[in-house]
Amino acid sequence: MLLGHFGVAAGVKSRERQLPLWSLMVATQWLDILFVPLLAMGIETIDDAPGTDGGYGEAIIHADYTHSLAGAIVLCALFGLFFARRWNRRAGLVLGGVAFSHWLLDLIVHRQDMPLLPGNLGGFSRVGLGLWESPGVSIAIELILLFVGCALYWRAARSTIAVSGSARQRATLVTGLMLIAGLLTLGLDLAGL
């Protein structure tokens, strides 16, 4: 689930015009951005799901801090707070919310590997609805999120900007680039990279 997150960013952009697209893109990936250095340090890890070769969605992700429910709430609140201070309250609320949407989408696809508390404190059972076990459905949902998000963005961008030809062309170009980047991401994901 990478591409689905980007679709959310594009869709929200169509409603929250004042927020730059990059801030929404960063928001949807915030938890994974923090995951990367922890992965490099070996604090969080990825294993192949039992009986798989680690392809699309065939992973058990031990992101016990960044993707624990409590950890994600705190990290997304900090993210929102940063932009609330820099820009305004509304920007902070929207970006914090979009950042947390990452956890909710991950909850749908992950195989029961997301703890409630950081480091799986208390040993509660981990959560994850495991849609990755049906890769076809999971890929379809990711594609739908991407296409719907891009379509909403494209429509909003074309309807609000001045009717100058170059601005319209730019809206189409940006939408096209988002689609290509999204599909490329899925391609890499499918290739297991």
- Give the interface with Zn ion as residue ranges (CB under 5 A): 32, 106
- Alpha helices of the chain — where are they, by DSSP H? 3-15, 21-40, 69-86, 89-109, 135-160, 165-190
User: Least separation, in Å, of the C-beta of 63 and Zn ion?
Assistant: 7
Name the strand (E) or helix (H) holding 59: strand 59-62
Nearer to Zn ion, 64 or 84 (CB): 64
User: Least separation, in Å, of the C-beta of 105 and Zn ion?
Assistant: 8
Number of C-beta neighbours around residue 46 at 10 A:
14
User: Least separation, in Å, of the C-beta of 12 and Zn ion?
Assistant: 17
Residue pointed to by tokens 């940006």: 174
User: Least separation, in Å, of the C-beta of 164 and Zn ion?
Assistant: 39
Cα–Cα distance measured from residue 3 to residue 177, given in angstroms and rounded to the nearest whole number: 13
Cα–Cα distance measured from residue 120 to residue 51, given in angstroms and rounded to the nearest whole number: 24
Nearer to Zn ion, 63 or 150 (CB): 63
70 to 30, 64, 104: CA distances (angstroms): 15, 10, 13
Q: ∠ CA(6), CA(72), CA(39), 5° rounding?
A: 80
Nearest to 151 by CA among 55, 11, 45: 11
Nearer to Zn ion, 44 or 106 (CB): 106
Beta bridge partners of 62: 45
Nearer to Zn ion, 30 or 83 (CB): 30
Nearer to Zn ion, 107 or 156 (CB): 107
User: Least separation, in Å, of the C-beta of 34 and Zn ion?
Assistant: 10
Nearer to Zn ion, 32 or 142 (CB): 32
User: Least separation, in Å, of the C-beta of 169 and Zn ion?
Assistant: 34
